[in-house]
Structure 1
């Protein structure tokens, strides 16, 4: 199902280094009745001359926003990791965990961002059942695998 994209998204993506970005937002829900997992894709297509720079600027903006608004209780944790899950193809992907304080609990969720010369996407997989029980939900590697599958499904031949 499509998700609303903030009006500022195109300007943000242009600042990251995407020329003529067309923003998109999609939510996926697991088809398994036993799973409560959802995945959210936020991204754009356009022209990307330096995919790694786009990814690095994305994570820098997350860190800057967290520092500017500490009351939101969200921050990046651990180190930014370059990953190459099966099926990623010629794209670059980096992932990092993000923690958020909700009520009295810290919830940690991995964020994976890919970029190639035409597409860019941020994927976050949520597992509400695991998070409710104090777990992390999906691992960084599982999130990366899901992001690579979503990238392959979302791309169309040029």
Structure 2
């Protein structure tokens, strides 16, 4: 599988689900994810139910909707989200490109809204499914790397977020970038920030903390009261 810069974001997210963050600061702290024994999430549900939208711009206009990178929601999405633990899920999927002509950064938001009794369980099931999908690839070109980490970006509120790096590609086209997933009692979202310029120069693109900060800000842009 040869991944070219123009199509890599969609290919990467498709493999995972089965730019630089706006601003040069990161306020995120992280903990190593819990092992097999997990205490159910106890964060209280907000008094108002929320839904997830697909705004045409995010991050104060720094990223704008890109129809060429936005792929259709898979037919299996509702069933998959229900399996994760979302009751009556409504899927959302949209891709963005930087509004600056000097940047090639892109962001993809994939998620759903509904009712979520255990946000952490939804996130853990997401990453378990990602690992399962990667292991099932006949060529073994995609896998999660490093440690799944619980993140605490500013502005996350009552949600939980976990992030992990994913590697995909072959030979000189290997790409490593983080996936961050949040869940609260009404919305779930996966955010991938991709920076082809950094990767082309031998870097990893954004860090887990930078991706988490961006994901928290996009949650605030896309999550609105029902």
TM-score, length of structure 1 as denominator length: 0.95
- Once the two structures are superposed, residues 85-117 of structure 1 have per-residue CA deviations (whole angstroms, 9 ceiling, x without a partner) of 011111000000001124433210000000000
| 3-state SS of 1:59 partner | helix
- Does structure 1 residue 83 correspond to structure 2 residue 171? no
- Once the two structures are superposed, residues 118-156 of structure 1 have per-residue CA deviations (whole angstroms, 9 ceiling, x without a partner) of 000000000011122221111111100110010000011
* Structure 1 residues 1-158: aligned runs within 5 Å: 1=65, 3=70, 4-158=72-226
What is the root-mean-square deviation in Å for CA atoms of aligned residues? 1.3
Larger relative helix fraction = 1
**Structure 2: unaligned runs, 5 residues or longer:** 1-64
CA distance in 1, matches of 2:194, 2:171: 18
**Number of equivalences:** 158
Answer with 1 or 2: which has the greater Rg.
2
**Structure 1: unaligned runs, 5 residues or longer:** none
Q: List structure 1 runs of 4+ shifted beyond 4 angstroms.
A: none
| 3-state SS of 1:36 partner | coil
